[in-house]
Amino acid sequence: MSSGQLEKILKSNFGYATFRPQQKEIITNVLKGNDSIVLMPTGGGKSICFQLPALILPHITLVVSPLISLMKDQVEALKTNGISASFFNSTLSELDKLSLIEDCNSGKIKLLYISPEALVNSKDGWISQLKISQIAIDEAHCVSMWGHDFRPEYQQLGELRKQFKDIPFIALTATADKITRKDILHQLKLNEPTLFLSSFNRPNLSLKVKSKVPKKQKQKEILTFIKERITQSGIIYCLSRKETEEWANFLRTNGVNASYYHAGLPPDKRSKVQEEFINDDLHIICATIAFGMGIDKSNVRWVIHNNLPKNLEGYYQEIGRAGRDGLPSTTILYYNMRDVKMLFDFIQESEFKQIYKEKLQRILQYAEATSCRRRILLSYFSEHLTEDCGNCDVCKNPPEFIDGKIIAQKALSAVYRTKESIGTITCINILRGAKTANIFEKRYNFLKTYGVGDNLSFNDWQHYITQLINQGVFEIAYDEHFNLKITPYGYQILRSETDIKLTRPLTKEEIKAKEKSVKKKSKKILSPNQQLFEKLKELRRDLAKQKGLPAYIIFHDSSLKEMASEMPKNAEEMMQISGVGEAKFRKFGHLFLDEINTFIPEEQTLRLSKISTYEQTLQLYNEGLSLEELAMIKDVKVDTVVNHLIKLLEEGYDINLNKFIDDKVIQKIKEVYLKLNQPEKLKTIFDALGNKVEYYQIRIVLALLNK
């Protein structure tokens, strides 16, 4: 199939004019009958890679999906795009299952979403009777013990490759390091698959990390952050169930509508919270990592981590739930050393303790980094940026580096002279000459290093030792009470064989100065485009409630923003908007066109420019210019000019609207308007006239009738 044909199917069924990187190559590989492993970031467009081939291939496509909520939403999204799809899982009655199996056998279903358990249990039964063209395994990292969300039932899927020898398999995931990728290949027994490794870079996500922030201060910061973006959707991730409930209660007490979600809640409560969040009835969720994997919500604008995550894969997937529509979104990670100890305690009983410890060390290095965070994050997934990202806290506020050799040697000496038997706090107490019981009991006060660092505060030393750990000068012996161990690199510094650069900690005054500079940002009045965007969101929310659908399934925020910016005035222009396919346009397009074409900016935003704008329109009108000339000079749409003229007419100015419209058109619109009993919606008249008049002409006639 040619490239042009694929793009035509893409636009017609999914509303996108062009493919994202690697989508077309993956689709072509599937259509050739080859196996594929697809690593693509959250929001990168994985689903299209098997959904589009499913429309071309002759028989049914099976999609293995781990979560019921994810199946339901994806099926609804496909149906909204006019594609026959369904799901098979434990929520269906036996009668519904029999009916669905009949539909699958008769070829009525193009995509069937199914849980791994159901597929394995039925592979020798009704599944074996189906004509199958493709099997897609979504969230494929669940097959690997090295992945961050291992599910034993996924490992049984490897038997399917033997049973369905001539069918292309496609395994898809948003997070997998090298060892997990290798395990996916091995466990699923794929047949010489092509690996498609997309860029994991999500430049629309800003990355920020804050360490050692006291609880009260953290609450204050997060509350302020949320109240500044009160209409935006966001998630606060916590390590414990108790913390999710505490955060939700704290926010509600302070006037913010929030709820909590964790595995300990009854299923109906979890479903209710998740549904309210998906449908934009609830904006803020405080959750454990049990929440999110089945959430295909495009307009999450921020993600906050209350604690350090267990590994970089999980962290990447969790922040990836923000900004899936490609619009700017914020991520903030709070952590302290208590988190590290708690996580380390979690993994002590695991048979994979060593690998989990290494993964924990990697995310700690990320959190405590003094260089571009995005480069560190992407390098973990074998992707290397050549330049700093400019959209993380380190890039935005580059640290000041100093010669750190003397500082490092003092800390190294303290650890060396105690035979590497002390942790960070004791090391700092020795360096600062602290008079604690532990120091005197262990006779550390007789060490030559005792008190050599009393010129620095406890926090400063903590800042420097953290960097020494990150730069590989020290290692933490997690299995020896978190004692510091000197690495070969550390011994080189101790012997003055090499230098080291460290960042200087900011003073309280410098921190306050930075905070003030951030607070100085003035609040902006919503622009007309932003006002229209909010109007379109309201319309989408109303439609979603009527249809019982998640709001983003109707249109993503990115599509609404493009509508608000481009203000399409007819079907042809609306079909150029990204995300508007033929089926969606038939269902919803005219409703959004009507909202756009009847939109007038609110008085609040017109207050500053109303007089000059209207006076300019009146002046140009008095010069005898046509509507098109008026619009071109003012750099607005004809509809906007007509709105101005109608407003001027209502305010008593001598405006002759008749000269802009033919008498026959006036009569035709008037007859339909009266025949339909004076409908409120312009679209009703527009449809009755067979789309043969412009919306602005209808508005002119209604204004004349009202006058």
DSSP string of 660-687, one letter each residue: GS-HHHHHHHHHHHHHTT--S-HHHHHH
Report if residue 493 sits inside a domain: yes
Q: Based on the structure, what is the number of domains in the chain?
A: 4
The domain that holds 176 is classified in CATH as 3.40.50.300
On whether the CB atoms of residues 57 and 131 are closer than 8 A, the answer is no
Query: What is the pairing mode between strands 483-486 and 474-477?
Result: antiparallel
Clarify whether residues 125 and 262 are in a common domain.
no
**What pLDDT sits at residue 608?**
39
Q: Among the three residues 176, 197, 218, which one is the final residue of a domain in this structure? A: 197
Q: What is the DSSP string of 372-413?
A: -HHHHHHHHTT---SS--S-BHHHHSPPPEEE-HHHHHHHHH
Instruction: Please list, residue by residue across 431-456, b when 16 or more beta carbons sit within 10 angstroms of its beta carbon and e when fewer do.
Output: bbebeeeebeebebbebebbebbeeb
Q: CB-hemisphere CA count at 13 Å for 16?
A: 14
Nearest to 607 by CA among 536, 521, 522, 528: 528
Q: Amino acid letter at 396?
A: K
Residue 638 identity: V
Residue with tokens 């009958």: 33
**C-alpha span between 614 and 171 (Å, rounded):** 59
Question: Could you give the CA distance from residue 26 to residue 37 in angstroms, rounded to a whole number?
Answer: 9
Q: Are 597 and 27 in contact (CB under 8 A)?
A: no
In terms of domains, do 483 and 358 share one?
no
The domain in which residue 454 lies consists of: 401-503
Of 395, 393, 366, nearest in space to 378 by CA? 366
Give the H/E segment covering residue 99.
helix 94-105
Considering the domain architecture, whether residues 346 and 209 belong to the same structural domain is answered as yes
CB atoms within 10 A of CB 632: 13
Amino acid at 206: S
Q: What CATH number has the domain bearing residue 622?
A: 1.10.10.1390
Q: Is residue 395 a part of any domain in this protein?
A: no
Same-domain check for residues 193 and 214: no
pLDDT of residue 302: 96
Distance in angstroms (rounded) separating the CA atoms of residues 360 and 366: 10
Task: Determine phi and psi for 686, rounding to 5 degrees.
Answer: -55, -45
Together in a domain, 612 and 702: yes
Query: What local confidence, expressed as pLDDT, does residue 507 receive?
Result: 74
**Judgement on whether residues 444 and 491 belong to the same structural domain of the protein:** yes
Instruction: Write the DSSP assignment of 552-621 as a string of letters.
Output: HHH--HHHHHHHHHH---SHHHHTTSTT--HHHIIIIIHHHHHHHHT----HHHHTTTHHHHHHHHHHHH
In the chain, the amino acid numbered 500 is: I
| Structural domain contains residue 240 | yes
Residue 396 counted as domain residue: no
Same domain, 214 and 187: no
Let me know whether 96 and 185 are in one domain: yes
Query: How far apart are the two ends of the chain, measured CA to CA in Å?
Result: 59
Q: What is the pLDDT of residue 112?
A: 96
Q: Within a domain: residue 343? A: yes
In a domain, 117, yes or no: yes
pLDDT tens-place string over residues 53-71: 999 999 999 999 887 777 8
Last residue of a domain, one of 458, 478, 503: 503
Mean pLDDT score of the chain? 86
273 inside domain: yes
Q: Which residues contact 627 (CB under 8 A, 6 or more apart)?
A: 638, 641, 642, 660, 696
Same domain, residue pair 592 and 685: yes
- Angle formed by the axes of helices 458-470 and 405-417, nearest 10°: 90
Which of 197, 217, 242 delimits the end of a domain?
Answer: 197
Neighbours of 273 (CB within 10 A): 20
Which tokens go with 706? Answer: 């009202």
The domain that contains 458 carries what CATH number? Answer: 1.10.10.10
487 within some domain: yes
Tell whether 103 and 232 lie within a shared domain: no
- E strand spans, 306-359: 329-335
Question: Do 579 and 700 belong to one domain?
Answer: yes
Pair 216, 256 in one domain: yes
User: Mean pLDDT by 10-residue block, N- to C-terminus, for the chain (707 residues)?
Assistant: 88 90 94 93 85 95 85 88 92 91 93 91 89 93 72 83 90 80 87 88 93 92 94 92 95 94 88 85 88 72 94 89 88 90 81 78 85 83 79 88 94 97 95 95 96 94 84 77 89 94 79 56 56 90 86 87 88 90 90 87 47 72 80 74 86 86 89 87 84 85 84
Question: What's the angle, vertex CA 548, arms to CA 72 and CA 244, rounded to 5?
Answer: 70
- Reported as a single tens digit per residue, the pLDDT across 586-616 is 999 899 999 998 887 654 444 434 445 777 7
